[in-house]
Amino acid sequence: MALASSVLIERAPAKVNLTLHVVGRKENGWHELESLVAFTAGGDVLSLTPGEMLGLTLEGPTASLAGDNDQNLVLKAARNLSSRVDGLRTGAFHLVKHLPVAAGVGGGSSDAAAALRLLARANEIAFDDPRLQEAARETGADVPVCLDRCARMMEGVGEKLGEPLRLPPLVGLIVNPGQALETKAVFATMNLAPGTKTHYGAHPALSAPQDMAGFLAALRKGRNDMEDAACVLAPVIGSILAVLSAARGCQLARMSGSGATCYALFTDCRAALKARQAILKAHPEWWVKACVFR
């Protein structure tokens, strides 16, 4: 089998939960979700120089916040795939970290998915090989949905993935205040007992392609059930949502994942860029990125 020997590169984009419904909590403690997930174009960049020794180096504006290298999900994903593929060739990973950490945009999960894609390319493993999905699921609940990097519904604890959706053009901003927020802490604040259902209301039916007006109308019927608990732990989230909602051209503002990152959808690129400029002028310490969701 011919193996790649040059440096391979994959992007690890931000994962944004356009909706996030908490359906309940299983007896084993895991929370069951329904979420419409979309991705941005920009994010982290992961490279792999194939070789015999597995390793990871980091750089970039948020690299210092990524924690211990040995516990990084990139290496965890590589080890999980190695346990399933005899003779898997790994190598030296290099991660350029741009996405905020513990921010509700799936940065670590997206990095892990990028690692699996790189290893698949380096070892000529088909992207639909079930061993990739198995390794993804073992690495983390959000890793499977990050493998394909396309908009779709995600249900259960991340193991149930709907068909890819072609979204209408969604121009927006993603904003993070620089405050890390652990998913575990947000769930603890929600305080759902194991074996209970929330009965908060059904997820809106979302089909694509559809016109922008119809899509936004359906999206507005959704929600992020973790938002209230996250605001208790990080009140700045309420400030971000207020600032985004007040921006001219904003059509919807909502928290992503377990926070503290929030997103907003705008009428067009000009409105989004003007809002970004105004927000950074008032809050230069915030991380604010214009994006197109896909």
pLDDT more than 70, % of the chain: 97
- Statement: residue 2 has pLDDT above 50: no
Ranges of each domain in the chain: 8-161, 170-293
Active site includes 228? Answer: no
Indicate which residue of 44, 76, 111, 142 is catalytic: 142
Q: And the tokens for 18? A: 């356009």
pLDDT average, residue stretch 20-39: 97
Name the least confident of 111-125, 168-182, 196-210.
Answer: 196-210
CA distance 244 to 242: 5
Summarize pLDDT for 240-260 with one digit per residue, the tens. Answer: 999 999 999 999 999 999 999
Active site includes 142? Answer: yes
Contact 88, 123 (CB under 8 A): yes
Summarize pLDDT for 74-105 with one digit per residue, the tens. Answer: 999 999 999 999 999 999 999 999 999 999 99
Long-range contacts of 285-289 (CB under 8 A, 24+ apart): 285/177, 285/178, 286/175, 286/176, 286/177, 286/178, 286/240, 287/100, 287/175, 287/176, 287/177, 287/178, 288/173, 288/174, 288/175, 289/14, 289/40, 289/42, 289/173, 289/174, 289/175
Q: Give 209's pLDDT tier (boundaries 50, 70, 90).
A: low
- Statement: residue 208 has pLDDT above 90: no
pLDDT average, residue stretch 52-56: 94
Q: Give 3's pLDDT tier (boundaries 50, 70, 90).
A: very low
- Statement: residue 113 has pLDDT above 90: yes
pTM over 0.85: yes
Summarize pLDDT for 158-182 with one digit per residue, the tens. Answer: 999 999 999 998 999 999 999 999 9
Query: What DSSP designation does 167 have?
Result: P
Mean pLDDT of the chain: 95
Indicate which residue of 15, 76, 97, 289 is catalytic: 15
Q: Give 109's pLDDT tier (boundaries 50, 70, 90).
A: very high
pLDDT average, residue stretch 16-43: 97
Phi first, then psi: give them for residue 212, nearest 5 degrees. Answer: -60, -45
Q: Does domain 170-293 have CATH number 3.40.50.2300?
A: no
- Statement: residue 1 has pLDDT above 60: no
pLDDT average, residue stretch 183-199: 97
Vertex 21 angle, CA 19 and 26, to 5°: 145
Q: Give 68's pLDDT tier (boundaries 50, 70, 90).
A: confident
Summarize pLDDT for 248-292 with one digit per residue, the tens. Answer: 999 999 999 999 999 999 999 999 999 999 999 999 999 999 999
Would you tell me which CATH number, out of the four given (3.90.700.10, 3.30.200.20, 2.60.40.1930, 3.30.230.10), belongs to the domain 8-161?
3.30.230.10
